[in-house]
Structure 1
Amino acid sequence: MTDSHSSWGMRGGFWPVLNRIVTAIVWLGIQMYWGGQAIKIILGAVIGPKFAYMENTLPKSANLDTASLISFFIFIVIFLPILVLPPERLQTPFRITFIMITCTMFGILGWAVSAAHGPGILIHAPSSKYGSALSWSAVFGLQSFVGAQASGCLGQSDWTRYARTPNAALFGQLIAAPICICVTAICGILITSAAATIYGKYLWNPFELLLTIQHESLSPGARAGTFFAGLGFLESQLALCIVLNCVSSGMDLAALCPKWINIRRGSYLLSLIAIAICPWNYVTKPTTFITVLSGWSVFLSPMTGIIVSDYFLVRKQEYHIGDLYTGNSTSAYWYIAGFNFRGFAAWVMGLWPLLPGFARAVQGVLAGNGWDHLYDISYFYGFFVAMLVYWAQHAVFPSERQTGSSPFVLSDRAVMLKPEGSRESSHDVDAFSV
């Protein structure tokens, strides 16, 4: 939030926060839906196909079957009480979740490769595209991957604040996270390839794979395997809903309305909205899901570029800390009426050339023209263009106290800290400087 204040202004800083909240709502809804699918797998293993493949009483336009709807609300009932727990008490549950989902992933990989007697047909399949079409598809896949992780990266600071030392999060962010992401992607490819050999179709979604296993085999081993795999995915989805969405965006929502909303209330409000948007509509078709994932980078990547530019290029890694919490014209980050026009201009310049391609992608009419290729590199384009435009504006039109640093002093905010009738001197208050 403070980074947004310095780059967007004390009032303008609420705009990127609001965008991040909207992103979190969509992601929360999607993760809740997958959590419901994990419940469906567990109940399908316990009850049998009578539940997982019960008669669907919903119309086709609902984009959801009866069993999935029941499972979705069961997940909600399990998930909502967990939000009562304070974030600092979730370390041990998260460690257990990491162990469970890791065992689940490698367990499915071992089963798939063993049952297919190898890595499967996908590994040896020839490319369906050649030349520039193949190159642009590869670039789009890379930027889609980066864009899908962008929301998680933006929420890291909400959790690193609980670290004991400033550098405690470096190992996880620089080493562990990239390795885990790459290993997970490789396992997903191998599992899909092996499953295609077994079932004759590509099942990229692990939930669909487990449901297919239940549908094809009623053996005790298959039911037990899918039960424990579903349990691992259930724990994973609970953790994702909390870490990436509810708590992080609950903090942002509390920053927007601190008088009425705290982190817990914000988490519950976001959960209700995520349910109301009917998230299954976003994942009905794989192409729609991919478009949703990559589409958010159109809006988020310029914001990320602006924050990076502000901290490294413009401020030289220094801030006037007290001014980040001063909501009037005396703040170095007040700019014009609380808005920094440089941030908004950089965001627009990084955004508008991507909108034609984004609109064509949503409509499913991409034809490989210039706008479409620009959309293929949307995250990289938005990030670097916004970063450079923001830096150039501050170089040409520097703001007051643009560089330098100053500590956070509480003397100007003593009225918020002194109890009624207290007569502390200004010297006593100044002692609370950072």
Structure 2
Amino acid sequence: METKYDPSLYNYDLAPVKKEHKTWTWINFTTIWMGMIHNIVAWETAGSLIMLGMSVWQALSAVIIANIVLISAMWLNSVVGGKYGIPFPVIIRAAFGHKAAHIPVVLRAFVAIFWFAVQAYAGSAAVNAIFGALIPGWNGLSKFHLVGMGLNSAIAVVLFWLLHMWIVSKGMHRIKIFELWAGPLVIILGIILVIWSINVSHGLGPLFEQPSKLSSSQFWTIFPVSVTGLVGVWATLVLNISDFTRFTRSQKDQAVGQFIGLPGTAIAFALMSIITTSGTVVAFGKAIWNPVTLLQKFDNPFLLFFGAIALIIITLSVNIAGNVVSPGYDLVNLFPKKLNFVKAGNISIILSLFFVPWLWFNNAGVILTVMGAVGGALGPVAGIMFADFYIVHHRHYEINSFYLKDSEYSYSHGWNYSALIAMAVGTIISLIGLFVPTLKPLYSYSWFLGVGAGFIIYALLMRNTENKTKVREVSPAK
């Protein structure tokens, strides 16, 4: 007899992916990561290491170490999706219970929608720039204002948001196809800039021979913080990587594809940024790590146009994969009776408008600090997920229990207080440097502290709970 799942916990998009629909090969995982990694933030982050005074070799070593940490964490959390074909908001029920799971799910969705707004507004600026160069009188529309921005900017925002919605309209299949060509295409711009850098520097030699501007003590102060910052760019995706690996043809496909796509192309992309930024030191006497600023330096209309198109594709690529897939599944999880992935993805795109990024985009220090704190709170969730699958459940989940309110993952009426305590304490440890001045240096390692604390505290609490259960089971009846 077929198990009847609870409709408040189950629908088509939350169900395990059927074998015939597990079609993603290692190529798809490589290109999906290429599409996410090859973005303006990643380029600027890697290039800024040169600005801080590092040599090419020092900057490259920071990138390599950060990506080794990232791929290790991704692999650990990818296995569940590949094995059971289920997304993050379903997996998290095993640790938190079906009700308490809404807390980390909503937090993850909130962070993703916020970053969607940031990235999309940056991309709309590129659209606005292209229209300004091609359409006479376009820039003159800026004198008319709509919801706090010029009419030309408002039109660009609407068009760019609608472009995201069109890509999402066919679900994960269209996203897979889009990333298949978008990721590799972005490499072309990077190669052009690298060729220019090598040309102005008369070979790679001068770039790699530039000495570090940091003393030994300065380097060892900056280096670990730089590694943490590079990890932090993609740390939240560790939670919902199963949203992608649930479609994998095999565990080997997702493992190999992610290895090539994450540390592989990420290091190559960072190397392009580092080489190009080093070339700007030779060409202009100072490090320019912002690709838009660099493109403007060339004063070449064709290169500016091509560069703007590339930046638009970059933004679409990272935004769809990194900031729509997660809240899409998260919102479906909240309203499984009313939403599917496409509807939820489009709702998350619309919700991002309420962050009104055009009002604070150039002065976002306070908001970014708040978002950093929210992101830090997700570190313990990753640690809890690791501990739950590998330590508590010994790499085995009972698939039917995810979709039933009365199951081994129900805990206390849908609440696992061990997970909530581990998340709360882990968050305090993760963010303590933000509130205690003397411990401020610890905030640079917030994600690592959160992961470690969440893992240890949850594993210990669950072990204690399990031992108490065993004692009750063997106690003689009175």
TM range (shorter): 0.7 to 0.9
Q: Relative contact order (alpha carbons < 8 A, sep ≥ 6): 1 or 2 greater?
A: 2
Unaligned runs of 5+ in 1: 361-368, 403-434
Counterpart in the other structure of 1:76: 161
**Superposition pairs of residues 3-402 of structure 1, within 5 angstroms:** 3-43=91-131, 46=134, 57=143, 70-115=155-200, 117=202, 124=210, 126-127=212-213, 131=217, 134-210=219-295, 212-213=296-297, 217=299, 222-280=300-358, 283-284=361-362, 291=369, 295-328=373-406, 331-358=407-434, 370-398=438-466
- String of CA shifts for 1:60-118, please: whole Å, max 9, x gaps: xx7x7776555333322333222212322343322211221111211222223424556
The one-letter amino acid paired with 1:382 is: G
- Looking at structure 2, the residues matched to 101 and 153 of structure 1 have their Cα atoms a distance apart, in angstroms, of 24
Pair 323,72 (structure 1): closer, same or farther in 2 beyond 3 Å: same
The one-letter amino acid paired with 1:264 is: V
Is residue 422–residue 454 contact of structure 2 (8 Å, CA) maintained in 1?
yes
Is residue 109–residue 330 contact of structure 2 (8 Å, CA) maintained in 1?
yes
Is residue 88–residue 162 contact of structure 1 (8 Å, CA) maintained in 2?
no
What SS does the aligned partner of 1:243 have? helix
Pair 137,182 (structure 1): closer, same or farther in 2 beyond 3 Å: same
The one-letter amino acid paired with 1:389 is: I
Is residue 346–residue 389 contact of structure 1 (8 Å, CA) maintained in 2?
yes
Is residue 97–residue 239 contact of structure 1 (8 Å, CA) maintained in 2?
yes
What SS does the aligned partner of 2:228 have? helix
Counterpart in the other structure of 1:424: none
Pair 75,225 (structure 1): closer, same or farther in 2 beyond 3 Å: same
TM-score by length of 1: 0.77
Q: Which protein shows a greater Rg? A: 1
The total of aligned residue pairs comes to 380
Pair 199,142 (structure 1): closer, same or farther in 2 beyond 3 Å: same
Pair 282,310 (structure 1): closer, same or farther in 2 beyond 3 Å: farther
**Superposition pairs of residues 419-430 of structure 1, within 5 angstroms:** none
Stretch moving more, 29-38 or 9-18? 29-38
Stretch moving more, 248-257 or 64-73? 64-73
Pair 28,311 (structure 1): closer, same or farther in 2 beyond 3 Å: same
Shift in Å at residue 151 of structure 1?
2.5
- Looking at structure 1, the residues matched to 275 and 409 of structure 2 have their Cα atoms a distance apart, in angstroms, of 50
Pair 183,28 (structure 1): closer, same or farther in 2 beyond 3 Å: same
- Looking at structure 2, the residues matched to 68 and 109 of structure 1 have their Cα atoms a distance apart, in angstroms, of 32
- String of CA shifts for 1:230-266, please: whole Å, max 9, x gaps: 2222222212222122233211101111122221221
Q: RMSD over aligned Cα, in angstroms?
A: 3.3
Unaligned runs of 5+ in 2: 1-88, 471-478
Shift in Å at residue 11 of structure 1?
1.0
Is residue 55–residue 66 contact of structure 1 (8 Å, CA) maintained in 2?
yes
Pair 66,83 (structure 1): closer, same or farther in 2 beyond 3 Å: same
- Looking at structure 2, the residues matched to 85 and 68 of structure 1 have their Cα atoms a distance apart, in angstroms, of 28
- String of CA shifts for 1:308-339, please: whole Å, max 9, x gaps: 010011111012222121113xx111111211
Pair 299,312 (structure 1): closer, same or farther in 2 beyond 3 Å: same
Is residue 9–residue 335 contact of structure 1 (8 Å, CA) maintained in 2?
yes
Is residue 175–residue 321 contact of structure 2 (8 Å, CA) maintained in 1?
no
